[in-house]
């Protein structure tokens, strides 16, 4: 299923989610409007808010995304009235959403559905407190190609320990930059000597508006469940995920040990 959606005026929108948030951005008339989503975080089993405070972290992600020169607006989507009020208190924009979503992708879709003119939605995870606005621009470059339906970022793996870390998602692509597989396991296996460069996935996604609506209706598949990776559902259904290579390292927070790494970069 290789989508070839029409481009109206290159309007792109982004949305973030709950206390793990997603940011969704909209480009309209060559300017990008972004929507951020927040929800209650259930994993991992520690409070990443201790990096600064929950409030500071929310604002950090919001302000980081707003520095992207392509963005003209950000909206936080949340099912928590406390988060809603906090975003308004620092001058941000927010929308309340259903508490019944199973993923940030679904929450993004709820907000994106309210903007029929939107062409592209960007989803930023809330465990990416150091998201670089240049990464958003790199991701958006993919959508200059009208055949791109879903886009994401990858980065060459510099620390080989990441290859064996199940919290670091590995990805292999074909010669056209299309993702072939994502895995928590070592990928490629490096069983035999080769010059292949391993890549790690960075959890930023962008979708054509109509494709986001489609993939949120897909049922889970066994492949996805085996890795606990939602993007495998899309690949299994026949969607193509295009990748852009970035060299900007922005560590996310998957385990308690990641907190110190992020703290060192904030200081």
What pLDDT score does 49 carry?
39
pTM: 0.81
Whether 4 is in a domain gets the answer: no
What pLDDT score does 19 carry?
46
Q: Rounded to an integer, what distance in angstroms lies between the CA atom of residue 214 and that of residue 187?
A: 28
DSSP 218: P
DSSP 113: T
What pLDDT score does 32 carry?
45
Whether 5 is in a domain gets the answer: no
Q: How does DSSP assign 9-72, residue by residue?
A: S--EEEEEBBSEEEEEEEEETTEEEEEEEEE----SSS-GGGGS-HHHHHHHHHHHHHTSTTEE
Cβ atoms of 20 and 225 closer than 8 Å: no
CB 252: neighbour CB atoms within 10 A?
21
Of 106, 31, 122, which is closest to residue 71 (Cα–Cα)? 31
Whether 27 is in a domain gets the answer: yes
For residue 16, the surrounding DSSP H or E stretch is strand 12-16
Print the domain residue range for 55.
12-253
State which residues of the chain have pLDDT below 70: 1-54, 71-73, 126-129, 251-267
What pLDDT score does 254 carry?
52
What pLDDT score does 134 carry?
93
What pLDDT score does 51 carry?
38
The domain total for the chain is: 1
Assign residue 44 the CATH number of its domain.
3.90.550.10
Whether 52 is in a domain gets the answer: yes
Q: Rounded to an integer, what distance in angstroms lies between the CA atom of residue 118 and that of residue 215?
A: 16
Whether 258 is in a domain gets the answer: no
């Amino acid at each position: 299923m290789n989508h070839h959606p029409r481009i109206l005026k290159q309007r792109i929108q982004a949305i973030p989610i709950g206390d793990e948030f997603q940011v969704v951005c909209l480009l309209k008339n060559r300017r990008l409007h972004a929507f951020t989503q927040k929800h209650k975080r259930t994993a991992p089993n520690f409070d990443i808010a201790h990096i600064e405070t929950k409030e500071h972290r929310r604002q950090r992600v919001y302000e980081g995304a707003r520095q992207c020169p392509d963005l003209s607006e950000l909206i936080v989507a949340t099912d928590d009235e406390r988060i809603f009020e906090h975003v308004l208190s620092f001058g941000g924009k927010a929308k309340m959403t259903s508490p019944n979503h199973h993923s940030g992708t679904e929450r993004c879709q709820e907000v994106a559905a309210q903007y029929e003119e939107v062409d592209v939605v960007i989803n930023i995870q809330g465990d990416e407190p150091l998201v670089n606005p240049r990464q958003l621009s790199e991701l958006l470059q993919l959508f200059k190609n009208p055949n791109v339906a879903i886009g994401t970022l990858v980065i060459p793996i510099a620390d080989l320990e990441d290859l064996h870390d199940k919290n670091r998602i590995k990805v292999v692509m074909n010669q056209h930059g299309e993702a072939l597989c994502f895995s928590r396991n070592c990928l490629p296996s490096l069983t035999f000597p080769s010059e292949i460069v391993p890549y790690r996935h960075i959890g930023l996604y962008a979708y054509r508006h109509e494709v986001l609506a489609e993939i949120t209706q897909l049922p889970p598949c066994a492949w996805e469940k085996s890795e606990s990776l939602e993007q495998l559902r899309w690949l299994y259904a026949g969607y193509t995920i295009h990748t852009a290579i970035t060299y900007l390292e922005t560590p996310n927070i998957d385990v308690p040990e990641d907190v110190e790494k992020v703290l060192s970069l904030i200081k």
